[in-house]
Amino acid sequence: MKKMGEKQERVVVRGLRDVAAAETKISYVNSNGTLYYLGYDIDDLVERVCYEEVAHLLLYNRLPNKKELDEFRFQLISEMKLPEQVIKRIKRAPKDCHPMEVLRTEVSHLSEYDTHTNDNSDAANKKRALELVAKVPTIVAALHRTRTNQQLVTPSQEYGFAENFLYLYRGKPANNQEKEAIDRFMTLHADHGFNASTFAARVTASTNSDMYSAITSAIGTLKGPLHGGACEKVMLMLDDINTEEEVEEYIQGMLDDQKKIMGFGHRVYKAEDPRTKHLRSIAENLCHHTDTLNLYKTCIKIENVVHDKKKIFPNVDFYAAVVLNTLGVSKEFFTPFFASSRISGWTAHVIEQYQDAVLLRPSSEYIGEFGRPFVPIEKR
């Protein structure tokens, strides 16, 4: 029998690398570069479905038929409306705090207007999920409009959901190419296995806390530059590099200083991230049409130089930065756009976690001391 204070050896899996913390049916991420949503290869979905179909798939476990899609879209667009108090708080938020901070607070604030707070049934959570999928993009768009002293825009049932998001943000309707770009961007960002923010949401949900608390945890986690915050940092890097010719020296300088190249590397993928090829092609297309091909060419050069030097590939955030920049989104809103898409995956995972009904609570390996003699405060 172990004595008090005697160490129990445990295997520490640093960073929980390769640890399967739960079972999931929602998405499958494989190191060789494949991603499935509910059994569908992302490559089969991305050019054939709209974001609403993906959100429906994640929340109800199946793709909708035409009638269901129309109804779902109608509900989503109707639910984009925010409570007056939330709009007031968005308008009062200090202009210098990061949009992810305001988003985190206002999602939490939404819970105060939930009319059935104590109902944690599957039906109530599906309804809540739909509302969050609809309202998170509106919070993001409203914050941007407020910060740039522009009128808030009302969503239109004439437009698709992703298109509405861009419309609410920019105040002008998207052209066909932009519509396609934002739809695909949101589809590609909708879910991604047990990434850090999804895991954070599931940990919170595993205590039977409410969905708003779980999503607030997820938003706080996504904000970090090793996760969704990388996208904004990619743009800061691209702003620093003026021409293709500067790439080699810039990247070498970063590596010499032991700095990470933002938008590169991945915990799971050891081959190219399956979302990269789609985002690269959307970026190329948008850059062609907006006379920003130099930016695209600089990105290709960065990709090649980083691969030559470190044998790592761009992740979802690298070309996503170019896509959002070309769509006219300010860089501090890149991560909020990511959150506005991942909200469908987060809510699906929260519901799955409630169904699993198990507390996520790992142990730790204590490496501190035992038996320190206690010294009263007056003798310390």
CB nearer to ligand COA: pick between 72 and 318? 318
Alpha helices in the chain (DSSP H): 42-45, 51-60, 66-78, 84-92, 99-110, 122-147, 161-170, 176-188, 196-206, 211-222, 230-240, 247-256, 276-289, 293-310, 316-326, 334-356
Contact 162, 324 (CB under 8 A): no
Q: Which residue of the chain is nearest ligand COA when measured via CB?
A: 265
Contact status: 98 vs ligand COA (CB under 6 A): no
Which residues ranging from 306 to 325 are in contact with ligand COA (CB under 6 A)? 310, 312, 315-317
**SS3 for 35?**
strand
109 a catalytic residue? no
Which residues ranging from 230 to 259 are in contact with ligand COA (CB under 6 A)? 230
Contact status: 264 vs ligand COA (CB under 6 A): yes
d(CA 32, CA 96): 41
Say which DSSP state 372 is in: P
The residue within the footprint of ligand COA, chosen from 226, 236, 271, 293 (CB under 6 A), is 226
Tokens of 318: 């690298």
Say which DSSP state 264 is in: B
The residue within the footprint of ligand COA, chosen from 260, 297, 307, 331 (CB under 6 A), is 260
Block residue for tokens 């490559």 = 43
Helical axes 51-60 vs 122-147, angle rounded to 10°: 150
Contact status: 131 vs ligand COA (CB under 6 A): no
Catalytic residue (choose from 266, 273, 278, 349): 266
Contact 187, 46 (CB under 8 A): yes
CB nearer to ligand COA: pick between 33 and 263? 263
317 a catalytic residue? yes
CB nearer to ligand COA: pick between 82 and 222? 222
Q: How far is the CB of 310 from ligand COA (least distance, A)?
A: 5
Contact status: 54 vs ligand COA (CB under 6 A): no
Catalytic residue (choose from 183, 191, 210, 317): 317
Contact status: 331 vs ligand COA (CB under 6 A): no
The residue within the footprint of ligand COA, chosen from 267, 277, 297, 307 (CB under 6 A), is 267
Where along the sequence are the contacts to ligand COA (CB under 6 A)? 226-227, 230, 260-267, 310, 312, 315-317
